[in-house]
Structure 1
């Protein structure tokens, strides 16, 4: 393509971009990376919504984890797991006895073959005795010889403790299953109380230190609970499931959800459950969690959440005249989430006044009443009332019908973020930024840190709050920037040699890039990750050399060109904005609606955008405020370089071609200045047919 044709193509591209801008639809959610939650675009919804709940966390509050919890093993293929542990236990025992590898291999093969052939006699001669006798009993049991199997396991348990370290727990557990099992393991003479005794013995043996590599002690709690359910002893069943969950067995949590659903679905059981100190908090916990996402009953409409059960539960509690009971704060929380605000007030009247849930619910009610000052004070108390390490899992409402998604919220950070919305609206910009930086709402925090508070305000805040973490806490080899928690490849196709894990590194990196954008390189270096600090050293050295008037013009031009290449190829990592316009949070691969646009159009009764915020956000924008702004910075460096080169410099033409190529596809008008400078030199330098498209190699 000739230069003149290329000029016409630039104009055509400009028209196409303009038309696309006018007709382009508004951004919508789609498949992509982990798009972070943003609170600044919908403050009223955020402030008035009740906190989400975590069912497992609520259960853990009811029955704390024991000091020495039982082993818990996730079951994916019980038979395969049993065979693997069985073979490994046998091999370990033989190693301890000094057996040769050949003897060990033969013994393991013998055990496996006996199992496969269902031949208990094939185990004769196998040692140690507890492994042999347990396997013998298991083969008999599978063959339906339940009585013989029980006799073998009882005999095993009669051995001296030192001779049965590996299979005492297994034998007791299977005795329990044989008296109270279901399905294929049913013994035919179920004796629930005897089964419960053996399950208790299973836990006793595990607590005494006998091996439990399959997690049978924790599992026995679930089986005992199932026995109690069959007997109609729902409270006892729930107690056992709670204990199972407390040991860390997720099946206890799932079982409690199923049992709670059954109780809630039966109106006849609600009055009794309302008066039960065991059932009441569990049912409330489930309804709280289900109110945090779209609950779909088995025969319900998957498109809409069902609040009928929760409403019926609150009605049952009031009908039973339940008063000041433990968990009243949770009942107030549930009533608020259902929109029953007078009911929430009544429960708050008898709730523990210092409970963070009480305080949070009071803050929500204060906001609904328009008392923003009271709400702010309460939210400050809430934020300091949770442990920083506490996390809640929940399903967002929009995903409830999918049934396979979960999300996490840090309650302390969420309360700080809600308080930040109020502080920001009142004009307390630095205070709001501080709160959001400590809330894990990254894009909201970045908007304030990059565009609303000054760079000096940010530096003061970071120096006071975010000291550099120790190296082991901050990085992992081979990773990439990952404030979200998963490595990503940079837009330039490169990867960091560190992965951002510690939040302090991310916050300091925000400041480091902002200082780099402000050309405060000496200050920026201390806040950048090591890889970017090294790039910064090369960049500022190139600029310093380019500005040294004592050097020859050709050398200075070469330095400007070096600075241009660094700005272009490493600019995202060195000076890119986390949010708009560069979207370094996604390494430039994705973009969202700009926070400033949303804040400018915001209509909010509780926390409208303050004029000072919007003014600052425009005044403190990166220069230029365009996508991949560092490419324009690189273009400025190129213009500085070519001004130092003679008019007939072929290198100047190549530099200009590359500078145009850096922006032409996204912003054709921005490429015009390079083309015009190239034209000015046209007859003195070699022609580049596809200027801004296919350029000669970089000089």
Structure 2
């Protein structure tokens, strides 16, 4: 596989929805608390920047539109060679054959002088060819004819060959002067269209639009060959700096998007270049405020940095209704530092060809980034409730969870969750996660009835059932067998929902990663009162209590075996007690076999589901279930006891 194909494949993998990434991977949100300013790295949509340059330097440009013919032309009907339109078009071609230096045949002048309704077939083609005739020696004159072409197509002149779209390409393709070529190449990148832009399925398969690929490759190649050639023209100079940030030291500006270039310089660690570019930025630029805050924090002026970030949020609230400012902010995304979305490192910050699409780009937006940094500032100032709110508003869930679990007691967290239950500003998913975290904290404190209302809808009935069984299990007025059955049912519930009912969001359980703690990127510093897999210890304890209270030998053996299976793999030291209890119960024929085996054998696949589905009232079904769970007891071979324990 060549390097280009590999990059396309990598880009396809990074597109949201292209594949299901592991819950805790490099794409998982890093922590603002741990990494502060190094958590995320900004990336800019290069297409937006090129569009801004094209709008600034070609304010009269008419974008290509899909042709809508006001006078339909039937492709199947052959043209009449005797009609004035066809006769004049053919005469013009003959003039060119006789005199290739002719740039405006007289016959075509007559054709264009006809009323537009009398030349439906040849108008677009004639204007396009007139532009092509000028494209090499005089690209500006070619631009004039292409403009007329796009204007005519916009009025409804038929353009079955999509020549208005192709005109952007020919305007730059035939230009001989490199600076002129790049100027019109930027125009093509900004306003040109091609049928591949909307073919989202091709992008998902790693097949980008050929037109876009040609533009990006051409820009990069021209700048790499002779970058200094383009520094004399302000448009091409800014493009050169966009692709080669170090060239900013040779250019004094002005820059159309100097604040965006400053953001690129900051990301690359060129802080002097960043300050130089900021000096020429407009005072009301949101990027100016953001970068001043980042520079202040880097220089140790934390209070000033926090004040500038808060000012940014106030400015953002005032300008959210400004449709002109929104695209600029939306074109800036933040990816985890060191793991950008860009598959082309030499063009760092280029979304390609995602920039051709209209939906939201991957990564975090500027508002989320600023709120995350504000939250980190508040956290280090020990303003934990304020930090929690900022992290939730910024969708920085890992940091919000750290505050909610480590810095707030249950009463504080509960008051916060209740106060913001109906807050329309907080993202609904953040509120749901926070309430679920609170519910699990209450469950760990054995406050089952209080926890129910904070669980997600799908777990409320589960919590209610667990609370009911817990009340039965702890009721001394009931018989021992009734209480034993309740304890067993509690263990069954936990087999299905243990971490979702009792797990910590972060260390030691990492519910945030579905328990995949090995890959979690946030460094945890606070020690936990409960050990890793504490919910499994609680789960096994439910089965242990069922065995202690019951007087039925088969049920006692099943309950002890269930508890041992829960612990045998992850915490074998804790499973020792259950193993010895299974042997001491002397339940034939399994206790003697277990004594010879020296450990609890590995259960069959789906053992949790089998135990969880067992009806406690069906005592006659216990022998069959035990036989299934211990089906491997006689096929252990000659493994040692330590090997059977997994040691």
Counterpart Cα distance in 2 of 1:449 and 1:579: 10
Residue 303 of structure 1 aligns with which residue?
none
Choose from 544, 549, 557 the match for 1:644.
549
Matched, 1:221 2:151: no
Choose from 73, 76, 81 the match for 1:132.
76
Choose from 409, 419, 426 the match for 1:454.
409
Residue 344 of structure 2 aligns with which residue?
403
Residue 624 of structure 1 aligns with which residue?
530
Q: 1:195 to 1:279 in 2, by over 3 A?
A: closer
Counterpart Cα distance in 2 of 1:227 and 1:466: 62
Choose from 315, 318, 332 the match for 2:249.
315
Q: Secondary structure at the match of 1:693?
A: coil
Is contact 1:455–1:514 with CA below 8 Å preserved after alignment? yes
Measured after TM superposition, the shift of residue 626 of structure 1 is 0.7
Matched, 1:348 2:244: no
Residue 38 of structure 2 aligns with which residue?
46
Is contact 2:553–2:587 with CA below 8 Å preserved after alignment? no
Measured after TM superposition, the shift of residue 58 of structure 1 is 3.6
Residue 330 of structure 2 aligns with which residue?
390
Q: 1:537 to 1:326 in 2, by over 3 A?
A: same
The Cα offsets for residues 198-240 of structure 1, whole Å up to 9 and x where unpaired, read as 6445533554468999987555434444455768524344345
Choose from 232, 238, 250 the match for 2:186.
238
Matched, 1:259 2:223: no
Q: Secondary structure at the match of 1:665?
A: coil
Residue 55 of structure 1 aligns with which residue?
46
Q: Secondary structure at the match of 1:408?
A: coil
Measured after TM superposition, the shift of residue 457 of structure 1 is 2.9
Measured after TM superposition, the shift of residue 347 of structure 1 is 3.9
Measured after TM superposition, the shift of residue 188 of structure 1 is 13
Normalised TM-score (structure 1): 0.60
Q: 1:326 to 1:199 in 2, by over 3 A?
A: closer
Residue 505 of structure 1 aligns with which residue?
432
Matched, 1:203 2:150: yes
Q: 1:188 to 1:417 in 2, by over 3 A?
A: closer
The Cα offsets for residues 472-512 of structure 1, whole Å up to 9 and x where unpaired, read as x97xxxxxxxxxxxxxxxxxxxxxxxxxxx44434443334
Is contact 1:367–1:375 with CA below 8 Å preserved after alignment? yes
Residue 560 of structure 1 aligns with which residue?
487
The Cα offsets for residues 272-312 of structure 1, whole Å up to 9 and x where unpaired, read as 13xx2x4455444x34xxxxxxxxxxxxxxxxxxxxx422x
The Cα offsets for residues 312-331 of structure 1, whole Å up to 9 and x where unpaired, read as x222224xxx46x6544345
Counterpart Cα distance in 2 of 1:221 and 1:421: 47
Measured after TM superposition, the shift of residue 335 of structure 1 is 4.2
Q: Secondary structure at the match of 1:353?
A: coil
Matched, 1:666 2:570: yes
Residue 605 of structure 1 aligns with which residue?
none
Matched, 1:423 2:378: yes
Alignment: residue pair count: 518
Matched, 1:373 2:303: yes
The Cα offsets for residues 11-57 of structure 1, whole Å up to 9 and x where unpaired, read as xxxxxxxxxxxxxxxxxxxx95562131357526617x874433234
Counterpart Cα distance in 1 of 2:397 and 2:570: 27
Q: Secondary structure at the match of 2:539?
A: helix
Counterpart Cα distance in 2 of 1:134 and 1:536: 77
Q: Which runs of 5+ in 1 are unaligned?
A: 1-30, 74-88, 90-127, 138-145, 288-308, 475-501, 601-616
Residue 333 of structure 1 aligns with which residue?
263
The Cα offsets for residues 169-194 of structure 1, whole Å up to 9 and x where unpaired, read as xx76666666667xxxx999999789
Counterpart Cα distance in 2 of 1:135 and 1:570: 75
Is contact 1:433–1:449 with CA below 8 Å preserved after alignment? yes
Measured after TM superposition, the shift of residue 369 of structure 1 is 2.0
Is contact 1:178–1:195 with CA below 8 Å preserved after alignment? no
Measured after TM superposition, the shift of residue 665 of structure 1 is 0.6
| Aligned pairs for 1:159-170 within 5 A | none
Q: 1:256 to 1:562 in 2, by over 3 A?
A: same
Counterpart Cα distance in 2 of 1:134 and 1:579: 73
Is contact 2:135–2:174 with CA below 8 Å preserved after alignment? no
Q: 1:460 to 1:376 in 2, by over 3 A?
A: same
Matched, 1:534 2:461: yes
Q: Secondary structure at the match of 1:131?
A: coil
Counterpart Cα distance in 1 of 2:514 and 2:260: 42
The Cα offsets for residues 666-689 of structure 1, whole Å up to 9 and x where unpaired, read as 110121232344345336996374
The Cα offsets for residues 558-580 of structure 1, whole Å up to 9 and x where unpaired, read as 12111111112222333333333
Measured after TM superposition, the shift of residue 435 of structure 1 is 2.2
Counterpart Cα distance in 2 of 1:513 and 1:42: 24
Counterpart Cα distance in 1 of 2:239 and 2:297: 29
Matched, 1:655 2:559: yes
| Aligned pairs for 1:407-486 within 5 A | 408-465=363-420, 467=422
Q: Secondary structure at the match of 1:636?
A: helix
Is contact 1:179–1:189 with CA below 8 Å preserved after alignment? no
Matched, 1:678 2:572: no
Counterpart Cα distance in 1 of 2:134 and 2:256: 42
Counterpart Cα distance in 1 of 2:562 and 2:502: 20
The Cα offsets for residues 233-283 of structure 1, whole Å up to 9 and x where unpaired, read as 24344345333489988856973674366247524424413xx2x445544
Q: Which runs of 5+ in 2 are unaligned?
A: 1-20, 82-91, 97-106, 199-208, 321-325, 352-361, 617-647
Normalised TM-score (structure 2): 0.64
Residue 601 of structure 2 aligns with which residue?
693
Counterpart Cα distance in 1 of 2:558 and 2:226: 79
Counterpart Cα distance in 2 of 1:252 and 1:242: 10
Q: Secondary structure at the match of 1:351?
A: coil
RMSD: 5.2
